[in-house]
Amino acid sequence: MSEQNLNNREATVLITGGTGFVGSHLLTYLQTLGYRQIHLTSYGQVDDWFLAQLPATQIHQIDLTDQLATKKLLKQLSPRYIYHLASIASVGDSFIRLQQILDNNIKLQLSLLVSLQELNLHSKILIVGSADEYGASLKGELPINEQHPFRPVNPYAVSKITQDMLAYTWFKAYKQQIIRVRPFAHIGARQTANFSIASFAKQIALIEKGKQEILQVGNLSARRDFTDVRDVVKAYHLLMQRGEVGEVYNIGSGRAVTMKQVVDWLIDLAKVPIKIKTDVARLRPIDIDVMVADVTKLEKLGWQPSVSLQESLKTVLNYWRETL
Amino acid sequence: MSEQNLNNREATVLITGGTGFVGSHLLTYLQTLGYRQIHLTSYGQVDDWFLAQLPATQIHQIDLTDQLATKKLLKQLSPRYIYHLASIASVGDSFIRLQQILDNNIKLQLSLLVSLQELNLHSKILIVGSADEYGASLKGELPINEQHPFRPVNPYAVSKITQDMLAYTWFKAYKQQIIRVRPFAHIGARQTANFSIASFAKQIALIEKGKQEILQVGNLSARRDFTDVRDVVKAYHLLMQRGEVGEVYNIGSGRAVTMKQVVDWLIDLAKVPIKIKTDVARLRPIDIDVMVADVTKLEKLGWQPSVSLQESLKTVLNYWRETL
């Protein structure tokens, strides 16, 4: 084990929103690497899964929009690394919950940045934006690199742009050690069924158990860039170690597949025949045709995805089979 | 007078934040063009100047972050045109008032967009962003066109990016008739002394009256693009008539001058000798070296500035001489 790894094993790591989908995979990965001082924040109830992974004293129930509470926690932990995952990640209903999503995502970003600044802490911070910031692409703009303009088509995307821009501002104004990422769609075990792939897999598992009849789907012509969440968290860790402070990095596979193709693969994996139906409630006020990442910048640091999409889909389907 | 002008004279116009600096000039210009149904919103106390220009019933005291009140007003007026000027426009202290500025500017933008959507009104709306959205430029990025990336260096700029992006989102999702503008620095009578040129002119007027000794200045090496506010409001009206819905337009002179040059011109206009001193309190945590607009897109619609910078400075200085 290299000196850096020995050193990092004792570094305090804070994962905000660590008790969510991505947080769970990041926790596992960091533990595999030997990190011991990993702390998570959680807003709501904590799943038993997390309590089986690390001591309850390392899981902090906190509302990060509360700046005083945030400052107190940061002072207590003085983390060397902060993975800022906390956010309301909801695209589908973001026109309905728009005030809440904007308020929440912006306030917790501010709370974190201002607390670090006031405490004069030099933690390295990874800020998680979203490919949704790019939104609609024009001809000739694909694949999407980090210079692609922002053309958001939902309030969630705007909240992510604001987080991203606040992070940039604090880097410029206060030299905070900030690295920003814009991940494209990612999938895996423990993702909630608000997201399309998780929803499809859950429905198929229900159909297999005879508890549902037809697979309800949305717009299947859209093309998306999917990455297994285990590859995404590897990118987060790599960027924390080797990313350039102040810079922003796309994370994605660099390949677009139609939702139709994904559904077909899932149906191939099913143990029973599956009938599908388009549910108009699953269609968004506006949807984007194609989203595909240019990940040249990240690949230059030595990252590439290791889990194939079909393998990833199998994992997701098995997760729902075991969970339901 | 053309048919369109006759028609427009009776169109209801709403200027949010209309009782501010830019609002006052927009009001005067629209009145000159023959518009009669001009309504203003005001958050604070209304200056007597406005009460001399139009009936008190056309000035609405309202907190636009209050969505119910906003919706009620829009329902009552059903404006054909909305110039959305309301915003806290404060760069200098935006790190101190950051929560307030972000909260306010975002909430009032949302309140307006959601109210129009809920009322199913098809008002044409001009959304006022800022050149500050662009922030720091890299080599080869000057002059700044509308594709320049966002690299904001203060929270005010982030609040303007969020307003801009929300407006784009509502245009895309609900086909709202939105035109966005990003004006560079503008100056004129009635601008508050929080802004550099107004502050310099006010101080010189005070020195002329023997009430101050030395002109306090900030960073004089910065280069900025100044436009007379009367030219800016002409651009607003032109864009409301001829701008393309969904698009964004820079407004500026296309020329950068150093702050040193501006101060020298003002000193030349002074009736007494002026000594200057750099006040560290006037230096920002981070300042941008050069900001200069590429206004090709706006010029194609037939706009160009008509008031020279020296003429404009004379107007500002005379305003402060008469006011103090």
> Quick check: is A222 in a domain?
no
Contacts of B140 in chain A (CB under 8 A): none
For residue A134, is it within any domain?
yes
Model confidence pLDDT, tens digit, residues B1-55: 444 555 678 999 999 999 999 999 999 999 999 999 999 999 988 999 999 999 9
Min Cα–Cα distance to chain B from A130, Å: 15
Q: Name chain A contacts of B110, Cβ cutoff 8 Å.
A: 98-99, 102
- Note whether residue A83 is domain-resident: yes
Q: In what order do the strands lie in the sheet with A248-251?
A: A59-61, A38-42, A13-16, A81-84, A124-128, A177-183, A248-251
Q: Encoding tokens for residue A268?
A: 């191939």
What pTM was estimated for this model as a whole? 0.95
The answer to the question of residue A317 being in a domain is no
Q: Do B173 and A99 touch (CB under 8 A)?
A: no
B102/A172 Cβ within 8 A: no
Mean pLDDT of the residues in chain A: 94
Amino acid at B320: W
B136 → closest Cβ in A99, A165, A172: A172
What is chain B's mean pLDDT, rounded? Answer: 94
User: What is the tens place of the pLDDT at every residue in A46-96?
Assistant: 999 999 999 999 999 999 999 999 999 999 999 999 999 999 887 777 788
When scoring A93, A169, A170, A180 by the number of chain B Cβ atoms within 10 A, the one with the most, hence best to mutate, is: A169
A contacts of B174 (beta carbons < 8 Å): 285
What pLDDT, on a 0 to 100 scale, did the predictor assign at position A4? Answer: 55
Q: Which two tokens stand for residue A87?
A: 């956010």
Instruction: Note whether residue A194 is domain-resident.
Output: no
In sequence order, the 6+-apart residues with CB closer than 8 A to the CB of A47 are: A19
| Contact of B186 with B229, CB cutoff 8 Å | yes
In a domain, A312, yes or no: no
| Chain B contact set for A172 (CB, 8 A) | 135-136, 151-153, 286
CA distance B22 to A170: 30
Q: How large is the average pLDDT for residues A169-192?
A: 96
The pLDDT assigned to A285 comes to 63
A128-152 mean pLDDT: 95
Contact A13, A30 (CB under 8 A): yes
Q: Under an 8 A CB cutoff, do B110 and A95 touch? A: no
Cβ-nearest to A158 among B107, B152, B169: B169
Beta bridge partners of B290: B223
Is A45 inside any structural domain? Answer: yes
Is A149 an interface residue toward B (CB < 8 Å)? yes
Residue A78 is part of which domain span?
Answer: 3-188+227-254+292-306
Residue B139 pLDDT class (50, 70, 90 cuts):
confident
Q: Which of B98, B154, B169 is closest, CB to CB, to A152?
A: B169
| Domain tally, chain A | 1
Rounded average pLDDT over B198-203: 97
C-alpha separations of B208 from B203, B278, B321 in Å:
9, 19, 9
A99 touches chain B (CB under 8 A): yes
Q: Is pLDDT larger for residue B280 or for residue B207?
A: B207
Least confident of A307-321, B86-100, B245-259: B86-100
Say whether pLDDT at A35 is over 50.
yes
CATH code for the domain in which residue B77 is found: 3.40.50.720
- Is the pLDDT at A250 greater than 90, yes or no? yes
> Residues 154..173 of A with a Cβ closer than 8 Å to B: which?
154-155, 157-158, 161-162, 165-166, 168-169, 172-173
For residue B135, list chain A residues with Cβ-Cβ distance below 8 A.
172
Whole-number Å distance between alpha carbons of B262 and B265:
5
Does some domain include residue A80?
yes
pLDDT in tens, A253-296: 999 999 999 999 999 999 999 999 998 877 766 678 999 999 99
Contact between A188 and A317 (Cβ < 8 Å): no
Is the Cβ of A108 closer than 8 Å to some Cβ of chain B?
Answer: no
Q: Has residue B314 got a pLDDT over 50?
A: yes
CA–CA gap between residue B290 and residue B134 (Å, rounded): 11
pLDDT at residue A1, rounded to an integer? 44
Q: Which of A109, A168, A171 would best serve as a mutation to test chain B binding (most B beta carbons within 10 A)?
A: A168
B118 pLDDT tier (thresholds 50, 70, 90): very high
The complex's ipTM?
0.93
Given a cut of 80, is residue B281 above it in pLDDT?
A: no
> Cβ separation of B161 and A162 shorter than 8 Å?
yes
Instruction: Please check the confidence at residue B61 and state whether its pLDDT lies above 80.
Output: yes
* β-bridge partners, B30: none
The percentage of residues in chain B with a pLDDT greater than 70, rounded to a whole number, is 97
pLDDT at A282: 72
